[in-house]
């Protein structure tokens, strides 16, 4: 039951994280929001290590894993926080829904996983079609929204690359150590980025933004990252990426109900195509096949 419960927890966290990201930057600014989140998460994980008295591994494979995790934490999250200024939170979930398709392509190349069959290629085509529709929706919101979708799409691709890299390294170290080591590398990069670009302590705070930062730092980063990398250690990269099969629609609904984000026909159509692509990618080849022999 440990893996299914962990999987469900990650699904719930991934569903709520885009909305919390959007709220955390409303007032303090997106750079402070993401830097504060990573600072809180790092502090929580270091306290956990201190409490358990288990040192981090520092062998070569562990260092490579930490670098891959740091690249994911910094390179993926920073563009998402920037994009959240311009696009609805539900769209972030939809864009990250393409992660399994990107991961499957990379896993086929680098891990030898079977993911380039005709049905899967068709699912990739549907996913691209949904992406085109979503870009069309973004054009209605302006140039910044198009750039926002591009930034999230870049993050989804980079997350897929990092997931495959971690599997390729195969360090087999605990998920908590992976996240802690990655944050110890990523946090200085965040602090430098915030110091160079912004560097100002925020004067405008709202209860919502403060609660979102604390939630993201304590729950989404500390628990969410650990659970995610735990799943990545015990399941295939493609299987872990299928968390995005559920989160797009849940994220859209959450943003619509709680944050009053608009659900246009184009958004629903594009999201539906992406979800259909994910369903076909995962389940089409499991359907019973019937072979007819010519007499």
For residue 289, being part of any structural domain is answered with no
For residue 108, being part of any structural domain is answered with yes
For residue 291, being part of any structural domain is answered with no
Top pLDDT among 250 and 292 is at: 250
* 113 — pLDDT class (breaks 50, 70, 90): low
For residue 293, being part of any structural domain is answered with no
User: What does R_g of the chain's alpha carbons equal in angstroms?
Assistant: 19
Task: State the pLDDT at residue 291.
Answer: 40
* Model pLDDT for residues 225-245, shown as the tens digit of each residue: 788 878 877 777 667 766 766
* Model pLDDT for residues 159-179, shown as the tens digit of each residue: 888 888 888 887 888 888 888
For the segment 72-81, the average pLDDT, to the nearest whole number, is: 94
Select from 100, 74, 87, 36 the least CA-distant residue to 155: 74
d(CA 128, CA 125): 5
For the segment 99-127, the average pLDDT, to the nearest whole number, is: 72
Number of compact structural domains in the chain: 1
For residue 152, being part of any structural domain is answered with yes
**Cα-based distances in Å from 9 to 96, 150, 190:** 17, 28, 27
Task: State the pLDDT at residue 71.
Answer: 94
For residue 290, being part of any structural domain is answered with no
For residue 292, being part of any structural domain is answered with no
Phi, psi of 142 (to 5 degrees): 115, 170
For the segment 96-113, the average pLDDT, to the nearest whole number, is: 73
47 CB burial (10 A radius; 0-12, 13-18, 19+): exposed
Q: Is 245 helix (H, G, I), strand (E, B) or coil?
A: helix
What's the mean pLDDT when you consider all of the chain? Answer: 83
pLDDT of 294 over the 60 cut: no
Q: What share of the chain in percent tops pLDDT 70?
A: 89
Note whether 148 and 138 are within 8 A (CB). Answer: yes
For residue 177, being part of any structural domain is answered with yes
Question: Which of the residue ranges 66-70, 132-136, 194-198 would you say has the lowest mean pLDDT?
Answer: 132-136
Task: State the pLDDT at residue 282.
Answer: 65
Per the structure, the complete domain to which residue 29 belongs is given by 2-283
d(CA 281, CA 278): 5
Tokens 């993926």 appear where? 76
* 295 — pLDDT class (breaks 50, 70, 90): very low
Tokens, residue 283: 């389940």
114 CB burial (10 A radius; 0-12, 13-18, 19+): exposed
How open is the CA angle 13-14-18, to the nearest 5 degrees? Answer: 110
* Model pLDDT for residues 210-224, shown as the tens digit of each residue: 999 999 999 988 888
Question: Which of the residue ranges 71-80, 195-204, 261-270 would you say has the lowest mean pLDDT?
Answer: 261-270
Task: State the pLDDT at residue 83.
Answer: 93
């Amino acid at each position: 039951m440990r893996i299914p419960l962990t999987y469900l927890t990650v699904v719930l966290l991934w569903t709520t994280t885009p909305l919390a990201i959007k709220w955390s930057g409303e007032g303090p600014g997106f750079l402070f929001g993401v830097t504060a989140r990573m600072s809180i998460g790092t502090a929580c994980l270091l306290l956990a290590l201190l409490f358990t008295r288990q040192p981090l591994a520092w062998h070569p494979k562990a260092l490579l894993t930490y670098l891959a995790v740091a690249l994911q934490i910094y390179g993926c999250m920073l563009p998402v926080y920037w994009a959240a200024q311009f696009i609805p939170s539900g769209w972030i979930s939809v864009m990250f829904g393409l992660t399994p398709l990107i991961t499957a392509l990379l896993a086929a190349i680098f891990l030898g996983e079977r993911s380039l069959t005709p049905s899967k290629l068709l699912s990739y085509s549907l996913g691209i079609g949904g992406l085109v529709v979503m870009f069309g929706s973004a054009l209605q919101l302006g140039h910044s929204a198009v750039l926002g979708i591009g930034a999230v799409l870049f993050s989804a691709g980079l997350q897929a690359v990092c997931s495959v890299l971690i599997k390729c390294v195969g360090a087999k170290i605990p998920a908590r150590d992976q996240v802690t080591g990655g944050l110890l590398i990523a946090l200085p990069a965040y602090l430098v980025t915030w110091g160079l670009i912004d560097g100002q302590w925020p004067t405008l705070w709202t209860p919502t933004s403060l609660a979102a930062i604390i939630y993201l730092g304590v729950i989404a980063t500390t628990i969410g990252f650990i659970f995610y990398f735990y799943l990545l250690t015990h399941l295939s990269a493609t299987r872990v990426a299928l968390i995005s099969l559920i989160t797009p629609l849940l994220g859209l609904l959450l943003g619509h109900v709680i944050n009053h984000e608009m659900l246009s026909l184009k958004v629903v159509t594009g999201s539906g195509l992406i979800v259909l692509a994910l369903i076909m990618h995962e389940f089409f080849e499991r359907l019973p096949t019937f072979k007819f022999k010519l007499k």
